[in-house]
């Protein structure tokens, strides 16, 4: 049975010291509102509201749609709250700023600094494949500075895609809508359908082993987002690539139109094997800021790392002596 859409909080609703103006976006796990604080300054408020678990037809209170969904909803609410707590500790110009988080109406709310601009997805659709390499290098190099800070706080984004990269009016990028709590919930509770964005989710996100996730998982989303800037669409979904990889390399598609360095970097980020991708955001950011060829020695280094890790894993499990 398909989940029903939840009723948004109405215009003028008072949520603590915030006045709701209107809903500005929605997803399977949350609604986002434009609101104003007591000083009439705009803020964005994200409400935890998973359609598969709860249903609000009227009023403000959130109620689980069934008794069996109640525990799952509460577990997800805990994950959502903890994510808000972690993000509130991050103060970086390229990461959405969480200024408050609280419980109300039997759910959780994150209050974020409101920014004016448009998403990279809107930019791609408007430009129609005419995005310059300089723009891609600048936007992603700056955004990755924020992602490095996020990873330094032991948080993974897990939903990097053009619609979650916001371009402010001054042209600077902002990383939005973290999906770590959503990923945890769908992995731990099999009653929920996984919430992946086809083409941008890494192959390891389709499994149930959280230990397989790491910075390399976000790096796949970065590569897929850069690919979308050039193509106007997402790469082939990773789970389908695992069955039959039909994804053409960026180097093959755009050789002669963009630098080999950028195309090689995109292909490197989109490797299906997590250990064959760059293992840190710093490596990708450094490559974007430099215009030389992606060093083969670096790629060989990670191939060697892959071999060592495989052997170590076998030793731990008794598979190799």
> DSSP label at 255?
B
Distance CA 147, CA 143 (A): 6
CATH code assigned to 122-296: 1.10.510.10
CA distance between the termini of the chain: 51
Q: Check if the beta carbon of residue 45 is closer than 8 Å to that of residue 110.
A: yes
Helices (H), the chain: 67-88, 120-127, 133-152, 180-188, 215-231, 238-243, 250-254, 260-269, 281-289, 296-317
Do 149 and 90 contact (CB within 8 A), yes or no? yes
Domain boundaries, the chain: 14-113, 122-296
pLDDT, residue 195, reads 63
> What tens digit of pLDDT does each residue of 205-236 get?
988 777 889 999 999 999 999 999 999 999 99
Instruction: Scan for tokens 């800037």, then name that residue.
Output: 229
Query: Quick count: other Cβ atoms within 10 Å of Cβ 299?
Result: 16
Tokens found for residue 167:
């371009």
pLDDT of residue 180: 56
Q: What is the pLDDT of residue 53?
A: 86
Query: Is there a contact between 153 and 33 (Cβ–Cβ < 8 Å)?
Result: no
Residue ranges of the chain with per-residue pLDDT less than 50: 1-2, 190, 293-303, 307-309, 311-321
- CA-CA distance, 163 to 172, in Å (whole number)? 15
- What angle, 0 to 180 degrees and rounded to 10, lies between the N-to-C axes of helices 215-231 and 260-269? 130
**How many helices (H) and strands (E) are present in the chain, helices listed first?**
10, 9
> Residue 315 has what pLDDT?
43
CATH number (3.40.50.11540, 3.40.50.1470, 1.10.260.40, 3.30.200.20) of 14-113 reads 3.30.200.20
Give per-residue pLDDT as tens, 94-129: 999 999 999 999 999 999 999 999 999 999 998 876
């Amino acid at each position: 049975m398909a989940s029903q859409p939840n009723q948004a909080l109405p215009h003028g609703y008072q949520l603590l010291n915030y006045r709701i103006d209107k809903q500005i976006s929605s997803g399977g796990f949350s609604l986002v509102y434009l609101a104003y604080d007591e000083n009439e300054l705009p803020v964005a408020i994200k409400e935890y509201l998973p359609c598969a678990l709860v249903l609000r037809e009227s009023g403000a209170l959130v109620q689980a749609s069934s008794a069996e969904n109640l525990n799952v909803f509460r577990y997800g609410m805990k994950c959502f709250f903890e994510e808000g707590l972690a993000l509130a500790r991050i103060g970086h110009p390229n990461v959405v700023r969480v200024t408050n988080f609280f419980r109300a109406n039997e759910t959780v709310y994150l209050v974020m600094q409101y920014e004016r601009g448009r998403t990279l997805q809107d930019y791609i659709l408007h430009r129609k494949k005419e995005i310059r390499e300089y723009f891609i290098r600048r936007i992603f190099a700056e955004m990755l500075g924020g992602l490095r800070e996020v990873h330094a706080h032991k948080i993974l984004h897990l939903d990097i895609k053009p619609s979650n990269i916001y371009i402010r009016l001054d042209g600077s990028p902002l990383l939005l809508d973290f999906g770590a709590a959503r990923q945890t919930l769908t992995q731990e509770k099999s009653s929920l359908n996984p919430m992946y964005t086809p083409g941008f989710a890494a192959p390891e996100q389709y499994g149930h082993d959280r230990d397989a996730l790491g910075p390399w998982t976000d790096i796949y989303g970065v590569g897929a987002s850069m690919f979308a800037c050039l193509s106007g669409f997402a790469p082939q979904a990773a789970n389908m690539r695992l069955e039959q990889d039909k994804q053409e390399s960026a180097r093959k598609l755009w050789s002669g139109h963009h630098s080999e360095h950028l195309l090689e970097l995109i292909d490197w980020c989109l490797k299906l094997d997590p250990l064959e991708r760059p293992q840190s955001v710093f490596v990708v950011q450094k490559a974007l800021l430099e215009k030389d060829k992606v060093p083969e020695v670096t790629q060989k280094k990670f191939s060697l790392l892959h071999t060592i890790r495989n052997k170590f894993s076998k030793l731990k499990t008794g598979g190799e002596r």
